[in-house]
Amino acid sequence: MCAENIFVDELSIEPCHKTMTMTFQKGLNYLKGQNGSGKTMLLDYVAGIRNDQKQRISGNENIVYINQNIFFADRLTGTDFVKFVYRLDNKSREREKFFEFTEKFDIDKKVDVKTLMEKQWGLLSGGERKYLYSMVLLSLDREWYILDEPFAYLDTEKKEILWKVIEAFASEGKGVILTSHEEDSRINGSDTHVINLD
């Protein structure tokens, strides 16, 4: 059974000269702050990319982290990326399971995901790459989804689809933590747990 919340207890972020204590609740959590306030570094710790040697974070056992850095071989296709991610997650029938996810949210009706998957990774635009990267990782079944600047480089249509998925997860009782410099009323909505690092 996964914890309801993620707890951060006096975690020291040295480059920012900050010690952070906070609780991320199930639903939508918005981590707010200026550049250099420690948002990405905090998310790296919560996701386990940075080592929390004193075990100051709990409840983060079942997460997917969609960070800002997208690394994948340029000559491989979007389909190769789906296979790579799903096999790391010990899933078979990669394409079918991914398309089940896109059908659930009517994603393919607005953006031709199948065409994106056939293109080489290096031939996708920055926005297409970010979109496909996000959708594939969001299709994994987790209790928590951490998204660092998920709307950067996306056009309006792709942002709306991403919001649809985020809001669905929050309403299903999953946890979502996101950072964003985008101005959107949904980020500061009444159901959003806002944590300000400034």
CB 9 within 8 A of CB 54: no
Q: 187: which DSSP letter?
A: T
- pLDDT of res. 138: 95
- pLDDT of res. 191: 86
Residues of the chain with pLDDT under 70: 1-3, 53, 108
Burial (0-12, 13-18, 19+ Cβ within 10 Å), 103: exposed
Q: Which residues of 141-174 are buried (b: 16+ CB within 10 A; e: fewer)?
A: ebbbbbbbbbbeebeeebbebbeebbeebbeeeb
- pLDDT of res. 53: 67
Count of alpha carbons within 13 Å of 34, Cβ hemisphere only? 3
Model's pTM, two decimal places?
A: 0.90
- pLDDT of res. 1: 44
- pLDDT of res. 24: 97
Q: Kind of pairing, strands 27-32 and 57-58? A: unpaired
Q: 37: which DSSP letter?
A: S
